[in-house]
Structure 1
């Protein structure tokens, strides 16, 4: 996929060069058109003067007629050339747009695959014996064993702010990193309630957490006993900064922009960190297409820019959160 993005970038550069050459050709054709129009005026004036000269001007009148015919033919050719140049320009825009849609799709696909792994992580870790024992046979020893396991996971995976074990009453019984969370009551949190009620994995949208002091996504899985009954919740806090490993590697033109937006149209990732959860793109036709459910992938041309978009398709069991990638590329 990396090679695909590199190839797409080369296509974008070549198309921009083609469009610049096409623009230069268009300017040249305008100059030729101006010359043709001036020649036509010159021929008209020459014909008038030849008529005034009578017999003496007949030879000059023939020349004036030929100049007029040449000017008209040249003007017609210029008009046809302008139409052709415009068609080439539009076709180049279409090729760039299709290429940019590919970039948007590749980016959201990579994000989905990364988050799918986080979805798998929380489900797998919720089945570990040390986690279950800390809930079934709560004691200092079982809690310490659970925390030792979680700390090891935390150090190996590196992409999490924290890992927590919560009992069925909503009390935090163990934490991988922030021990101050142990003993807190989280029974009123949506992620806890949804996980217990559904007996299934619950994934939050992106939000800023004062506890971990960063943008995060919470993945929560029910912890079950051998009879399949929910005895608690295992929950993780993914460090959103690691998604920028994907964003920063996307090869787009220096003047282009890439945004990840949530299901409400707010930016949740871009190269400008200040825009996260503050900038809305709902005014764009491209975003309106996505939010309306009319199209999941495509492009619009607005304000002399191409806006390519691709809605998440999820990956395997991870269905996604309704996020999309928008790529803006200026039309030269």
Structure 2
């Protein structure tokens, strides 16, 4: 009973089973066509022999004519049936494609909503007094207070590798999990420079960090004093593994594939972890349409596969990073 319920949730599995049944029906129809063709040839030969027999073969000639008529009608019906079966197959492909586009949209939407929360986190935490004070009045006491605050929210939220406070010169002054990073100069890092330059939250693409030893994204927010002046940067390192809570729950066939790609076409998440940051999908027509800006949602059919795709729309104030989800379904 549970297996039936599970299968009913996976539309692509059911549609592929339907397509297999159609394939088998086409084989049967081909056999019927062969029989009709052979019957037609047999009727033709019988008619010739009946004509040679003259008056004695007249009755058999009538039978041969009827057999020929029946064979032709049967052949015509089988051809029409084959057209209907082909139409059913095409419609099944379209249903799979539309459903797969929905999967791509739903997946990128869930990722965006998750990352929107990370965007909110960094802005909110940058306003806490413990963070401001260790920048305004740096001392062992204020830094210790800030580190206690960082450790506390790190333990509560669980989805971060680390949290850092960086002063306006670029020096790390506090860390939740990596005290060995305190004192290091971040002034040349793009995330630091852009946060200070724009006075806005800066979000990196997904990358591998040697410091936290994992795939991560950094969210960086300016820290302001009471007059609105920038006094430093609060920056987080999101644990990318939590994105797989979304990816691994997507219901697709075992032979199907799901990719999250960045704005350059690199795979940044996949059910197959070996693809991450190693595989580029720019050779696909679907990805070409996405990266060129000509399409934001849809599907292509390439080499007996459906590639459904959806570009990020962002969520509320989080505009996204130009990522997309691509889902591959076989139609063989």
Counterparts of residues 54-69 of structure 1 (less than 5 Å): 54-69=54-69
Q: How far apart are 1:235 and its partner, in Å?
A: 0.2
Q: Work out the CA distance in 1 between the residues paired with 2:144 and 2:261.
A: 40
* Counterpart residue number, 2:328: 328
Q: How has the CA–CA distance of structure 1 residues 129 and 272 changed in structure 2, closer, same or farther, with 3 Å as cutoff?
A: same
C-alpha contact (below 8 Å) 1:147/1:174 kept by paired residues: yes
Q: Work out the CA distance in 1 between the residues paired with 2:155 and 2:141.
A: 21
Q: How far apart are 1:13 and its partner, in Å?
A: 2.6
Q: Work out the CA distance in 2 between the residues paired with 1:11 and 1:159.
A: 32
C-alpha contact (below 8 Å) 1:298/1:310 kept by paired residues: yes
Q: How far apart are 1:7 and its partner, in Å?
A: 9.2
Counterparts of residues 37-52 of structure 1 (less than 5 Å): 37-52=37-52
* Counterpart residue number, 1:298: 298
* Counterpart residue number, 2:71: 71
Counterparts of residues 266-281 of structure 1 (less than 5 Å): 266-281=266-281
C-alpha contact (below 8 Å) 1:9/1:252 kept by paired residues: no
Q: Work out the CA distance in 2 between the residues paired with 1:15 and 1:184.
A: 56
Q: How far apart are 1:43 and its partner, in Å?
A: 0.6
1:207-227 per-residue CA deviation (whole Å, 9 max, x = no partner) reads 111111111100000000111
Root-mean-square deviation (CA), in Å?
1.2
Say which SS state the counterpart of residue 307 (structure 1) adopts.
strand
Q: Work out the CA distance in 1 between the residues paired with 2:13 and 2:134.
A: 58
TM-score when normalising by structure 2: 0.96
Q: Which runs of 5+ in 2 are unaligned?
A: 1-5
* Counterpart residue number, 1:163: 163
Q: Work out the CA distance in 2 between the residues paired with 1:67 and 1:286.
A: 52
Count of aligned pairs: 327
Say which SS state the counterpart of residue 120 (structure 2) adopts.
helix
Q: Which runs of 5+ in 1 are unaligned?
A: 1-5
Say which SS state the counterpart of residue 249 (structure 1) adopts.
coil
Q: How far apart are 1:9 and its partner, in Å?
A: 3.7
Q: Work out the CA distance in 2 between the residues paired with 1:179 and 1:197.
A: 27
* Counterpart residue number, 1:307: 307
Q: Work out the CA distance in 1 between the residues paired with 2:54 and 2:289.
A: 70
Counterparts of residues 196-275 of structure 1 (less than 5 Å): 196-275=196-275
C-alpha contact (below 8 Å) 1:8/1:99 kept by paired residues: no
1:73-115 per-residue CA deviation (whole Å, 9 max, x = no partner) reads 1111111111111001000100011011111111111100100
Q: Work out the CA distance in 1 between the residues paired with 2:131 and 2:198.
A: 20
Q: Work out the CA distance in 2 between the residues paired with 1:7 and 1:54.
A: 66
